[in-house]
Chains A and B, each alone.
Chain A
Amino acid sequence: EAGVTQSPTHLIKTRGQQATLRCSPISGHTSVYWYQQALGLGLQFLLWYDEGEERNRGNFPPRFSGRQFPNYSSELNVNALELEDSALYLCASSLGGRFTGELFFGEGSRLTVL
């Protein structure tokens, strides 16, 4: 069974540009979560999508946005990139409905902002 896949693996942008990261959940999973893992800060919750709807949002500015497509894949967009956006962005998926706490993570997309 294929795990959560993320693309691209690495992305280099300059300040002010936009970045788009993509995630495909495990087949059958309807919930997708995005986390930012910046150096020394651990995993910071960004967004949660389920059944195409945004269910929850972490404490990030509006320039962090995303969406979930009908096939449950998801996209994270970061506009007006800043240097501190450089981080590993992790996507995770889970079955929909009652959350059991088990997230299945991808390998991440490393974004570098110059």
Chain B
Amino acid sequence: AQRVTQPEKLLSVFKGAPVELKCNYSYSGSPELFWYVQYSRQRLQLLLRHISRESIKGFTADLNKGETSFHLKKPFAQEEDSAMYYCALGGYSGAGSYQLTFGKGTKLSVIP
């Protein structure tokens, strides 16, 4: 079974402080990990995917298979980063079909 855990429901940081949104996963195969973001009054959208190894809006995330983690990091938080962040795991379910499983999300609040 696939499982994604985001231990923090809410994370508050000051502007300019580093940010780390935690994500741990459980999956027996080779995982594909993603971060999705939902800004206020906007749709849920893809932020980044581990396979791209890219930095989007200053955010990076490294897949650590040993710790089964995919934490999202940014060195200096900006007010516009305030949003709901969801970690997602792509993998094959028991029936052999691909499925994207989301965590419950972490609300990031950047304090001016």
Report A's interface with B, CB cutoff 8 A.
Answer: 3-4, 33, 35, 40-43, 45, 48, 55-56, 58, 90, 92, 99-107
Contact = CB atoms under 8 A, between A and B. Distances in A.
B102 A99 contact: no
B44 A101 contact: no
Given A33-B100, A105-B44, A56 B95 contact: yes
Nearest to B95: A56
B97 A56 contact: yes
A86 to B, nearest CB: 17
Nearest to A100: B49
Contact of B104 (A33, A42, A56): A42
A45 B98 CA distance: 11
Contacts of B43: 3-4, 104-107
Q: Is the interface of B mostly helix, strand, loop or mixed?
A: strand
Contacts, number: 53
B25 interface: no
23 contacts: A33-B100, A35-B102, A41-B104, A42-B86, A42-B103, A42-B104, A45-B102, A48-B97, A48-B99, A55-B97, A56-B95, A56-B99, A90-B44, A99-B98, A101-B32, A101-B49, A101-B51, A101-B90, A102-B46, A102-B49, A103-B100, A104-B45, A105-B45
Nearest to A44: B102
Given A90-B44, A101-B49, 14 more contacts: A40-B104, A41-B104, A43-B102, A45-B101, A58-B99, A92-B44, A99-B90, A99-B100, A101-B51, A101-B100, A103-B46, A103-B100, A105-B43, A106-B43
A45 B99 contact: yes
B25 to A, nearest CB: 14
B70 interface: no
- Interface size of B as a range: 20 to 34
Contact of A56 (B49, B51, B93): B93
Interface string B82-111: 000010101001010111111111000000
A42 B105 contact: yes
